[in-house]
Structure 1
Amino acid sequence: MTRVNVNNLGLIPLAGVCSYEDACKAGYDIDHNVNLLRRYLYAESQLNQIFAAHITSVPEWEVKGAFGLHIWLDAEHSAALRKRVTEMREPPLHLDKVPDAKIEAFFNEVIRAESTLELLVGIYRVAKPELVRSMKKHVAETNPLVDHPTCRVLKLILVEEEEMIPWGEAAVQALIRSDEDQHAAMKWQNHLESFLYAAGGISGDLVKPEDWQPAVPRANGQRYEMKVEPRRDARFVDTYNSTNNYDKIFSDESFPVDERTYALLYKRLREMDVPEWMGPIIYKTQGKPWEYYQDLSRQLWDEARHSMMGEVGLFQDGVEFYKYPVEFLTTMALNNTATPLEAHLVLWYIEQGLMPKDTGKHFEWVIAKASDNDLAKTFQDYDWADEVLHAQIGRKWLVPEYKNMEELKQQAEIVMNRNLAEKVRLSHQSDQKEWWPEFLVEIRAGRERTRGGVTV
């Protein structure tokens, strides 16, 4: 029944946010709204930590890349939800307080996945779909006019969360290669769903099925201990091989400009080791403001994206990114010998060293610009911009940890020298066979085929 015929002069009322009828529902009160938002932001924060705890040790390159993106998106989502809570409540806000011990128990199981398949199932088949369900229910039930700021935040988050889930499901399907895999995936999914139902889901309103049974937890009451050694899948060869000096090649004008540019592209490819060393920094550093995890998650994604630039740069000219050695000695050494603060210090020191115009990122861009490789020029342009941000992030969080900038640099050099000695020790695990000339012949041939119009 129409309540009243309102003359809106043919214009859409209420700023197009909703109809009059929708605006008449009572929706959620502030207390219920805030309590739900705290549950969502806890879930997003936990997912960020799960990605940080596993990105180093998952061997599949493509999974590392996706985790690099999703860790940042979940950090951003948590930050947006935190901001919305601050708009509705005065301190203390309890933003980092566990909202429900049963939700905590659920995420303590998700993080304890014992294989990439289990990890993907937990994140993309169980946790994220339930987060999406809860947020969609929130948008449908709250008053869309009075609670428009919350609806806007949730709708924006939902766009990205719903983009992640299909990637995760496709990854699960790719890793199910046998009946045993299928059984393991379903067994782990059922295990996690038992904990999820016990908590009533992310929003606390998920009804247990009649056949629900409690599950025995893997968690032992202690914080999860992440595996810090980087791993690569079987496609990769000789990952301790450090024979090629990319910096020497691209910085030496006696080398042809195309070789110098390929050295830059391969250097970009190698940057996957940075997310592998940033994961432990993010996961092991506790008690910082959420902005810290947000900033470092952004940097981690940038570094993963830089590696993808190298991957695409090799693809363009017909070389598989895993065919030649992609070493991870710096990360292997740091993760095994450095504290999170020391590892961050080394990262900043390297980033800061890329700022000088004549030797740093501007110089790399000039080299790529001089070549006929337009894609490489674009990649270096954006890589340069990202590194400016990363140097700022390092200064923002590291300078307060030391007396002054001079002490910061001195401590960084101490850790760098110690890490160099560890890298030399680790390099003995490879025969250090030269491979760059073979790579150069292959990628130049691919470039010629591309120029000739032949599909590579």
Structure 2
Amino acid sequence: MDKYRSLHGLPELAGVATFAGAAGPGIGVQECVDRLKCFHYALQRTWQVLLTRIACEPIYELKMGYSYHAHLIAEHITLLRDRVAELRHPPLRLHRVPDQNLQVLFDEIRNAPDCGMVMEGLYRVALPALRESMKEYSEDTNPLTDAPSLRLLRVILQELEEMIGWGEASCKALEEAVSGPHEDLQEWREELKGWLAAAGGLAATREPVAAPNPRYSSEEFVYDSTPKRDERFPDPYNMGVHAEEFLHDSSFESRDKVFMMFFKRLREIDVPEMMASILYETVTGKGEEEGSKKPWGFYRDMTRQLWDEARHAMMGEVGFARSGVNWPATVRVNSTWSKGLNQQLTPRERHAVLWFIEQGLMSKTGKRFEWELGTDSGDVFSELIQDFDWADEVLHARIGREWYVKDFETTEAAAEYGNACWNKVVSEWEKWKEEGLTEHHNWWPDLYREVCKNRGEEPDPRVVAYDRSYAETRADLQKIDSDS
């Protein structure tokens, strides 16, 4: 081996490995599969934990981070499933628990009572343990015989590092916000590491030790799908400004309409809140009997859409920020849509409403109209985000055709069912006002005046006077049944 050389000194073995490395030992196919299945289990459980927190987590930045990481992890799960299938093992029974102590580890994190403990468990224990186990795999396997696994692990490890970095920064920020770390976090972290040690490490490559006592996992987990928001969302029942009617009123200028579109984008925070409930209740079989039969592709695609909708919300946030608008002081972003769907409809019915809305956005008055409006406004950022928003919605319509429409005989039947499901969600506009939950304050004049102040212009009285609410019509401009 020492005397063997490539021709002309060219890089050997396609650059995948050195001769010495490729000629060395490695782990066999069965052990590779066993470890990859452990990685898959850890990612699957992390994905589920994130889904449980997207709706009920009040802090907007964490909600967005969880949405992004759920998408990344769904992609990682897909890579591992495909690789296991290439190693003489069909991707069946991947849901099996590799070790009961690993199950308790993730049950403890899922059942933790507050955000700080969940963050500690995921980003300072579980994901770092997964990272180290993947690095150990990369060192143990043969770089030539198992090159496909190493390639996908490089992809996953890079994104794991980014997730862990975000989590660590978030944990520190939360600790500073409450004047120091949670007094119980150190003990909690050690308990979780104890469950890892009891499993022999995340991939069972070490000798197991005695397990600690369960803290939270002995209690049955109760999923909370009720959307919650932080202090920047002080009026979550407010439906006092009908964005769509303003956008479709040709008497108003496009350059003013872009700020209503920023509101619409930011309001899309409610879509991940709703989609997370579809995914979690379906994958755990809590929603409907047929839920457990969904193939993995459904979860991967729907988690991608969930992340896209979170991105759209952040596009609106950036739109306000770059325009110098202090949106928390003026704009009232509600959560009534996600709240209504999560509490009143089944997962399948929620999906029906989602697709029905997405399908409506494919018309000339939908996403194309919003892109044209952004282009006409002269605001290059508005044009840009609506360009990508439109592209995303085309993808989402395809996802809907793949995972929703095909269950019906015709597209028309799918649309009728979606519309009927949306009509089932009772709008309690007057009741919320009577109960003191909201005044349905018309915040648009305040936002518009701030925009004009930043422009150095006098407000147009006609624009200031806009005062249409969602009391009588839905976002698709259809009349609300007064008997609902």
The alpha carbon displacement at 1:52 in A equals 0.8
| CA distance in 2: counterparts of 1:319 and 1:197, whole angstroms | 50
Q: Using the TM superposition, give the Cα deviation of residue 425 of structure 1 relative to its aligned residue in structure 2, in angstroms.
A: 4.2
**Map of 1:147-296 to 2, 5 A cutoff?**
147-177=146-176, 178=178, 181-206=181-206, 214-220=212-218, 222=220, 224-286=221-283, 287=292, 288-296=294-302
Q: Which amino acid aligns with 1:366?
A: E
Aligned CA distance change for structure 1 residues 7 and 376 (closer, same or farther; 3 Å): closer
Q: Tell whether 2:337 aligns with 1:330.
A: yes
Deviation at 1:380, TM superposition (A): 0.3
Residues 6-25 of structure 1 correspond to what in structure 2 (within 5 A)? 6-25=5-24
Q: By how many angstroms is 1:221 displaced?
A: 7.0
Amino acid at match of 1:346: V
Q: Distance in 2 between matches of 1:90 and 1:65?
A: 35
Match of 1:416 among 422, 428, 433: 422
Q: What is residue 288 of structure 2 aligned with on the other side?
A: none
Equivalence for 2:466: none
Aligned equivalent of 1:437: 445
CA deviation profile, 1:27-58 (whole Å, cap 9, x unmatched): 11000000101111111111111111110001
Identity %: 39
CA contact (8 A) 2:104 2:195 kept: yes
1:72-131 deviation line (CA, Å, top 9, x unaligned): 000000000000000112447322222222211211111112111111111110111011
Q: Which stretch has the larger CA shift, 252-261 or 147-156?
A: 252-261
Query: TM-score, normalised on structure 1?
Result: 0.93
How much does 1:412 deviate? 1.5
Q: Are residue 52 (structure 1) and residue 51 (structure 2) matched?
A: yes
Matching residue of 1:397:
403
* Alignment-derived partner of residue 126 in structure 2: 127
CA contact (8 A) 2:112 2:216 kept: no
Aligned partner of residue 182 in structure 1, secondary structure: coil
Cα pair distance change 1:409/1:422, threshold 3 Å: farther
Amino acid at match of 1:12: P
Which whole-Å CA distance do the structure 1 matches of 2:124 and 2:429 have between them?
Answer: 39
Match of 1:374?
Answer: 380
- The unaligned stretches of length 5 or more in structure 1 are 450-456
CA gap 1:318/1:206 in 2 versus in 1, 3 angstroms: farther
- 1:344-401 Cα offsets, whole Å, 9 max, x none, are 11111100000012x1100111111001210000000000000011111112111243
CA contact (8 A) 2:247 2:260 kept: yes
What code does the residue aligned with 1:195 have? W
1:311 match: 317
Q: Which amino acid aligns with 2:231?
A: A
Q: Is this contact kept in 2: 1:58–1:64, CA < 8 A?
A: yes
Contact 1:313–1:376 under 8 Å retained in 2: yes
Check whether the contact 1:330–1:423 (CA below 8 A) recurs between aligned residues. Answer: no
Please state how far the C-alpha of 1:403 moved relative to its aligned partner: 4.1
Runs of 4+ in 1 over 6 A off after TM superposition: none
Deviations 1:414-449 (A, max 9, x none): 221121435664465201122111011112323459
Distance 2:369 2:66 in 1: 31
Residues 424 and 19 (structure 1), Cα distance of their counterparts in 2 relative to 1, 3 Å cut? farther
In the alignment, structure 1 residue 81 sits paired with structure 2 residue 80: yes
User: Does the aligned pair in 1 maintain the 2:81–2:91 contact within 8 Å?
Assistant: no
Equivalent in the alignment of 1:41: 40
Give RMSD over aligned pairs.
Answer: 1.9
Deviates more, 1:410-419 or 1:382-391: 410-419
CA contact (8 A) 2:101 2:211 kept: no
Give the partner amino acid of 2:269.
Answer: M
- Which range is displaced more, 2-11 or 27-36? 2-11
Native 8 Å contact 1:195 1:215 kept in 2: no
Q: Which one-letter code corresponds to 1:351 in the other structure?
A: E
Secondary structure of 2:183 counterpart = helix
Secondary structure, counterpart of 1:356 in structure 2: coil
Give 1:315's aligned amino acid: A
- Provide the rounded CA distance (Å) in 2 between the counterparts of 1:236 and 1:103: 37
After superposition, the Cα gap between the structure-2 partners of 1:401 and 1:425, relative to the gap in structure 1 and judged at 3 Å, is farther
Distance in 2, matches of 1:341 and 1:285, equals 9
The answer as to whether partners of 1:296 and 1:393 remain within 8 angstroms in 2 is yes
Structure 2 alignment gaps of length 5 or more? 284-291, 458-484
1:356 is aligned to 363
Deviations 1:134-175 (A, max 9, x none): 001111110001100000011111010111111101111111
TM-score by length of 2: 0.88
Distance 1:261 1:204, change over 3 A: same
Letter of the structure 2 residue corresponding to residue 282 of structure 1: L
CA shift, 1:180, in A, is 6.7
1:96 aligned counterpart, secondary structure: coil
Structure 1 position 344 matched with structure 2 position 351: yes
Is the contact made by 1:75 and 1:294 (CA closer than 8 Å) also made in structure 2?
A: yes
Distance in 2 between residues matched to 1:28 and 1:148, nearest whole Å: 12
For the 8 Å contact 1:333–1:423, the answer to whether it is kept is no
Task: Determine the structure 1 residue equivalent to 2:465.
Answer: none
Q: Which residue identity does 2:399 align to in structure 1?
A: I
Contact 2:108 2:214 in 1 (8 A): no
Letter in 2 for 1:433: H
C-alpha displacement of 1:218: 1.5
* 2:17 is aligned with 1:4: no
In the alignment, residue 218 of structure 1 is paired with which amino acid?
Y
Q: Which 10-residue stretch deviates more, 226-235 or 418-427?
A: 418-427
Count of aligned residue pairs for this structure pair: 444
Verify the 8 A CA contact 1:365 1:384 in the aligned structure 2.
Answer: yes
